[in-house]
């Protein structure tokens, strides 16, 4: 058996109890200098380069990891990511057009997925079956069946998965979670967020792209073939065929924070309405520029979310209790106040900042878990939970009917 195979087996083994307890430092002493973890980046657009790669880079030396491969059907994005890796490590990474070829590479240990929404579960499931550890962007899926299949594959293959809901790894949000547990808010009946903007976020992504630089079929994946369209290719966030708009795009972070802070897992029901009221133009985007979604949770509170693209005014994020309210609109500086409380109990006397609790950086947490084999902060279960909530709302919007979720059967139904 080669040294490389030995290292891979050590990292992947879930039966070796020593691997679970072993710190990165002690592991490096056992594995020696050849314990570098080699990461492949799937999806090399701005999210892949500026969030994934740039997010890992501050920790790559101390954690002994390196981006050794990049993958994207667009030559321009692929080459930009490769240039970043070469600048950091002094050597050219491998470049792949198809994720299949990257996953077949035995010299890639883990992958980061920042591909378009419509192929998230395709890439996630394939990576899990290839036994690569994974960091995957949200939203995980556009439909429940592919969500279940991909999440099941991650568990069956014992891979370490971190979901890209990084807000739960902020010191401020961990502070909110611990404060919520004290019950200082009293009975919480409503949680709400309005996340508005001057225009839909997908307009910022539209740019020039040449057909000869794109492997068009690789981008479309299981979607029907049609002539190359640079606006559709670069602005895919705005088209329902490839993305479902603000609820999975923005509210997935919000939903994940609600689950993280309150401990809730799945909504019991959801309703949603939306449409395009402002941005009707030559691009023919199909994602709504205005949406309102409401979920009811079995824990006994209602969750409301809305987005309006046309004005950035009116944004808010509140957890409202009988005794006090927690305001999280400024993610870095949340506070609590008893102003307007129906039954203040005296514990909150004035506007008070939420105490921050130190939490490991989201990317560093994933890198550390690649060695310890522990469960990352945003686990595959957490990703599944917020994805279910988002899918329920989108389905309610599309059908005009209230949707309910059965966690035992893992089914979404009208009800």
Residue 347 in 3-state DSSP? coil
- pLDDT at residue 43 in the model: 98
> How many of the other CB atoms lie within 10 Å of CB of 189?
13
pLDDT at 26 over 90: no
**DSSP state letters, 167-185:** GGGSHHHHHHHHHHHTTTT
Q: Are residues 310 and 286 in the same domain?
A: yes
pLDDT at 362 over 60: yes
**DSSP state letters, 273-290:** EEE-SS--STT---S-SE
Comparing 184-198, 229-243, 333-347, which segment has the lowest mean pLDDT? Answer: 333-347
Chain mean position to CA 404: 23
- How many residues are listed for the chain in this entry? 415
Is residue 347 a contact partner of residue 323, using CB atoms and an 8 Å limit? yes
User: In whole angstroms, what is the distance from residue 238 CA to residue 154 CA?
Assistant: 29
User: In whole angstroms, what is the distance from residue 57 CA to residue 364 CA?
Assistant: 10
Q: What is the mean pLDDT of the chain?
A: 93
Where residue 343 falls among pLDDT bands split at 50, 70, 90? confident
- pLDDT at residue 74 in the model: 98
Q: Which residues contact 406 (CB under 8 A, 6 or more apart)?
A: 412, 413
Q: Name the nearest CA neighbour of 107 among 93, 86, 117, 89.
A: 93
**Angle, alpha carbons 346-347-353 (nearest 5°):** 125
Higher pLDDT, 10 or 387: 387
Q: Check which CATH number belongs to the domain holding 23 and give it.
A: 3.40.50.720
Where residue 34 falls among pLDDT bands split at 50, 70, 90? low
- Write out the H or E segment, with its range, that includes residue 253: helix 252-262
pLDDT tens sequence across 182-228: 999 999 999 999 999 999 999 999 999 999 999 999 999 999 999 99
Q: Are residues 198 and 96 in the same domain?
A: no
pLDDT at 15 over 70: no
Where residue 5 falls among pLDDT bands split at 50, 70, 90? very low
Q: What average pLDDT does the segment 329-333 reach?
A: 97
Dihedral of CA atoms 74, 76, 78, 79 in degrees, nearest 10, equals 150
**Angle, alpha carbons 306-308-313 (nearest 5°):** 100
Q: Are residues 88 and 172 in the same domain?
A: no
Q: Are residues 405 and 273 in the same domain?
A: yes
pLDDT at 23 over 50: no
Residue 114 vs residues 163, 326, 341, 387: alpha-carbon distances, Å? 11, 32, 42, 16
- pLDDT at residue 86 in the model: 98
Residue 108 in 3-state DSSP? coil
Q: Are residues 140 and 39 in the same domain?
A: yes
Residue 149 in 3-state DSSP? helix
- Burial degree of 347 (CB within 10 A; 0-12, 13-18, 19+): middle
pLDDT tens sequence across 267-317: 999 999 999 999 999 999 999 999 999 999 999 999 999 999 999 999 999
| Total structural domains within the chain | 2
Q: Are residues 208 and 245 in the same domain?
A: yes
In this prediction the pTM is 0.91
pLDDT at 357 over 60: yes
User: In whole angstroms, what is the distance from residue 271 CA to residue 255 CA?
Assistant: 15
**DSSP state letters, 179-245:** HHHTTTT-SEEEEEEE--BSS-GGGGG-----GGGB-HHHHHTTSPP----HHHHHTGGG-TTT---
Q: Are residues 353 and 207 in the same domain?
A: yes
pLDDT at 33 over 90: no
pLDDT at 235 over 60: yes
Where residue 25 falls among pLDDT bands split at 50, 70, 90? very low
Domain, as residue range, for 123: 3-167+364-379
End-to-end CA distance of the chain: 57
pLDDT tens sequence across 370-413: 999 999 999 999 999 999 999 999 999 999 999 999 999 999 99
Q: Are residues 172 and 135 in the same domain?
A: no
- Write out the H or E segment, with its range, that includes residue 42: strand 37-42
Q: Check which CATH number belongs to the domain holding 242 and give it.
A: 3.30.360.10
- pLDDT at residue 28 in the model: 39
Q: Are residues 255 and 144 in the same domain?
A: no
Residue 334 in 3-state DSSP? coil
pLDDT tens sequence across 98-108: 999 999 999 99
Percentage with pLDDT > 90 across the chain: 90
Q: Are residues 159 and 184 in the same domain?
A: no
Q: Which residues contact 338 (CB under 8 A, 6 or more apart)?
A: 323, 324, 325, 344, 348, 349, 350
Q: Are residues 304 and 372 in the same domain?
A: no
- pLDDT at residue 342 in the model: 87
269-275, strands of its sheet edge to edge: 352-353, 335-337, 325-327, 316-321, 188-194, 301-308, 290-297, 269-275, 403-406, 411-414
Q: Are residues 113 and 178 in the same domain?
A: no
pLDDT tens sequence across 103-149: 999 999 999 999 999 999 999 999 999 999 999 999 999 999 999 99
């Amino acid at each position: 058996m080669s040294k490389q195979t030995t290292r891979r087996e050590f990292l992947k083994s879930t039966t070796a109890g020593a691997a679970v307890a072993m710190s990165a430092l002690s592991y490096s002493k056992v594995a020696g200098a050849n314990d570098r973890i080699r990461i492949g980046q799937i999806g090399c657009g701005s999210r892949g380069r500026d969030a994934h790669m740039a997010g890992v880079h501050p920790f790559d030396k101390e954690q002994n990891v390196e981006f050794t491969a990049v993958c994207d059907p667009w030559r321009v994005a692929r080459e930009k990511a490769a240039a970043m890796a070469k600048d950091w490590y002094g050597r050219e990474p491998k470049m792949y057009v198809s994720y299949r070829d990257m996953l077949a590479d035995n010299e890639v240990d883990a992958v980061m997925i920042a591909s378009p929404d419509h192929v998230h579960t395709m890439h996630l499931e394939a990576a899990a079956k290839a036994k690569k550890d994974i960091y995957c962007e949200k939203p995980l899926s556009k439909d429940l069946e592919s969500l279940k299949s991909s999440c099941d594959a991650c568990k069956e293959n014992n891979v370490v998965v971190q979901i890209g809901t990084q807000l739960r790894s902020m010191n401020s949000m961990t502070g909110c979670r611990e404060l919520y547990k004290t019950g200082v808010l009293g009975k919480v009946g409503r949680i709400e967020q309005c996340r508005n903007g001057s225009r839909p976020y997908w307009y910022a992504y539209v740019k020039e792209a040449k057909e000869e630089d794109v492997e068009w079929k690789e981008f479309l994946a299981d979607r029907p073939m049609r002539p190359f369209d640079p606006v559709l290719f670069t602005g895919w966030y705005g088209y329902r065929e490839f993305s479902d708009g603000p609820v999975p795009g923005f509210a997935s972070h919000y939903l994940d924070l609600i689950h993280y802070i309150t401990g809730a897992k799945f909504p019991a029901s959801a309703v949603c309405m939306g449409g395009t009221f402002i941005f009707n133009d030559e691009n023919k985007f199909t994602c709504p520029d205005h949406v309102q979604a409401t979920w009811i949770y079995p824990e006994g509170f209602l969750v409301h979310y809305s987005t309006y693209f046309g004005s950035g005014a009116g944004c808010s994020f509140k957890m409202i209790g009988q005794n006090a309210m927690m305001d999280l609109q400024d993610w870095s500086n949340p506070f609590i106040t008893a102003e307007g409380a129906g039954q203040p109990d005296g514990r909150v006397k004035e506007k008070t900042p939420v105490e921050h609790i130190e939490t490991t950086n989201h990317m560093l947490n994933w890198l550390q878990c690649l060695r310890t084999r522990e469960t990352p902060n945003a686990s595959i279960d957490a990703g599944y939970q917020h994805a279910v909530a988002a899918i329920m709302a989108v389905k309610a919007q599309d059908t005009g009917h209230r949707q309910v979720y059965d966690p035992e059967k893992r089914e979404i139904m009208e009800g």
